[in-house]
Structure 1
Amino acid sequence: VRIRNHYLPRTSTGKKVVLAFVLSIILSQPPVVFMIDEKFQGNWLLGFPFLYSYLTIIYFFQIGIL
């Protein structure tokens, strides 16, 4: 009997989802967020400052993956 690790994805779909989640985590971390804030500081999106809208979209994407 071979015991497999539950933390590693077993299918190609699982690998794609893990990669998408890791990339979304990277997009919500300070170095990237600071670059986004400097570039789009004065812009508004959906009635909110661009940074808040950007982070909301990224967080909803992360929740959707989970």
Structure 2
Amino acid sequence: PSGSFSQTINFPEEHNLKPMISTTIEGENEIIPYAISGVNTTDYTILFSRNTTEDYTLHTISTEQDIQRIS
């Protein structure tokens, strides 16, 4: 929401493993720099470089990757 420095984003369903995520953000005006932190099986946090001045739409793709073994 507008005026936020960070926001926790919940996944629609809990993952079995910590997922890899890809995000895109859209807004009417300036998109301020942001980082993703604290990814776990139920949610993650988006951190903005300063308080937001508008409401953004955040698109998230989350995927699980099985354990890979190199032999």
Task: Report the TM range for the smaller structure's normalisation.
Answer: under 0.3
The answer to which structure has the higher helix fraction is 1
- Please tell me whether Structure 1 or Structure 2 has the larger radius of gyration of its CA atoms: 1
The answer to which structure has the higher strand fraction is 2
Q: What's the TM-score, normalizing by structure 1? A: 0.20
